[in-house]
Amino acid sequence: DFFPMFSRMYPSFKWMQDYAGSEGQKRPMVLCEYSHAMGNGPGDLEDYWQIIYGSECFMGGFVWEWADHGIFLGGTDEHGPVYAYGGDFGEEIHDGNFCIDAMVGPKREVYSSSREVMNVYRPIRVREISLDQGIFEFYNTMDFTEMSDLLRCVYTVEEFGRAVAKGEVELKLSPEKKELVTIPGLADLDGESLYVKFDFIYKADGCGHKTGDSAGFEQICLKKKALYGEAGVVCPETTFAVADGGVSAPENTANPEMPVPGVAGDLKILTPGNEKKLYSSTVAENAAQILVTGEQFRYVISRRTGLPESLVVSGQELLTAPMRYETFRAPTDNDVPNRDRWKMLYLDRLVPKHYGTEISRKDGGRISVGTGLALGYAVYPHIFKLKTETVIAADGTFVIRVNARVADIRCPLPRFGLHMSLPETFSKVVYYGYGPDESYTDKRQACWKSLFSADAADLFTDYIMPQENGSHYGCEYVEMSDGERQLAVTGNPAFSFQVLPYTTGELAKRTHREELNRSGNTELYLDYRQNGIGSQSCGPDDMKSEHIFSEREFAAEWKFSVSSRKER
pLDDT one-digit tens code per residue, 482-505: 999 999 999 999 999 999 999 999
User: Which residues, including other chains, have CB under 8 Å from residue 63's CB and lie 6 or more apart?
Assistant: 34, 35, 36, 37, 42, 45, 103, 117
d(CA 84, CA 491): 41
287-296 per-position pLDDT tens digit: 999 999 998 9
pLDDT of the residue at 492: 95
Among 257-271, 434-448, 491-505, the range scoring the smallest mean pLDDT is 257-271
Mean pLDDT calculated for residue range 215-230 = 93
Higher local confidence (pLDDT), 77 or 197: 197
- Cα Rg of the chain (Å, integer): 26
Mean pLDDT calculated for residue range 504-508 = 97
Please check whether residue 503 is in contact with residue 349, taking contact to mean a CB–CB distance below 8 angstroms: no
- High-pLDDT (> 70) share of the chain, %: 90
187-203 per-position pLDDT tens digit: 989 999 999 999 999 99
Q: Is 546 exposed, middle or buried (0-12, 13-18, 19+ CB in 10 A)?
A: exposed
Of residues 492, 491, 449, 501, the one with CA closest to residue 470: 501
Angle at 322 between CA 419 and CA 522, to 5 degrees: 50
550 pLDDT above the threshold of 70: yes
Of residues 16, 98, 94, the one with CA closest to residue 52: 16
The CA-based diameter of the chain, rounded to the nearest angstrom, is: 93
Q: Is 190 exposed, middle or buried (0-12, 13-18, 19+ CB in 10 A)?
A: exposed
Higher local confidence (pLDDT), 256 or 36: 36
Please check whether residue 510 is in contact with residue 516, taking contact to mean a CB–CB distance below 8 angstroms: yes
d(CA 545, CA 270): 48
Of residues 482, 516, 518, 525, the one with CA closest to residue 501: 518
Collapse the DSSP code of 441 into the 3-class scheme (helix H, G, I; strand E, B; otherwise coil) and give the result. coil
* Alpha-carbon distance values, 524 to 179, 289, 483 (Å): 45, 23, 17
pLDDT of the residue at 256: 32
Please check whether residue 100 is in contact with residue 465, taking contact to mean a CB–CB distance below 8 angstroms: yes
pLDDT of the residue at 564: 79
Mean pLDDT calculated for residue range 450-458 = 97
pLDDT of the residue at 267: 46
E strands of 88-150, at which residues? 124-130, 135-140
Collapse the DSSP code of 75 into the 3-class scheme (helix H, G, I; strand E, B; otherwise coil) and give the result. strand
Per-residue pLDDT band for 236 (boundaries 50, 70, 90) equals very low
259 pLDDT above the threshold of 90: no
Angle at 295 between CA 291 and CA 296, to 5 degrees: 85
Backbone angles phi, psi at 181, to 5 degrees: -125, 130
pLDDT of the residue at 525: 98
Per-residue pLDDT band for 1 (boundaries 50, 70, 90) equals low
d(CA 201, CA 279): 57
DSSP 163: E
Of residues 470, 473, 498, 380, the one with CA closest to residue 39: 470
208 pLDDT above the threshold of 70: yes
Of residues 310, 306, 321, 451, the one with CA closest to residue 387: 306
Helix (H) or strand (E) holding 199: strand 193-202
Of residues 418, 430, 108, 20, the one with CA closest to residue 12: 20
pLDDT of the residue at 281: 79
Please check whether residue 106 is in contact with residue 72, taking contact to mean a CB–CB distance below 8 angstroms: yes
* Alpha-carbon distance values, 536 to 10, 50, 177, 487, 507 (Å): 10, 19, 34, 37, 20
pLDDT of the residue at 566: 59
d(CA 382, CA 371): 16
What's the length of the chain?
A: 568
pLDDT of the residue at 344: 96
User: Which residues, including other chains, have CB under 8 Å from residue 242's CB and lie 6 or more apart?
Assistant: 355, 356, 370, 372, 387
pLDDT of the residue at 568: 54
User: Which residues, including other chains, have CB under 8 Å from residue 203's CB and lie 6 or more apart?
Assistant: 149, 150, 151, 152, 211
d(CA 363, CA 341): 45
d(CA 364, CA 371): 21
pLDDT of the residue at 567: 58
Mean pLDDT calculated for residue range 511-539 = 95
Cis bond upstream, residue 331 (ω within 30): no
Please check whether residue 218 is in contact with residue 198, taking contact to mean a CB–CB distance below 8 angstroms: yes
Q: Give Cα 497 to chain centroid, integer Å.
A: 5
* Alpha-carbon distance values, 61 to 31, 38, 121, 171, 177 (Å): 4, 17, 11, 27, 21
How would DSSP label each residue in 83-94? Answer: EE-TTTTS-SS-
Does this model's pTM top 0.75? My answer is yes
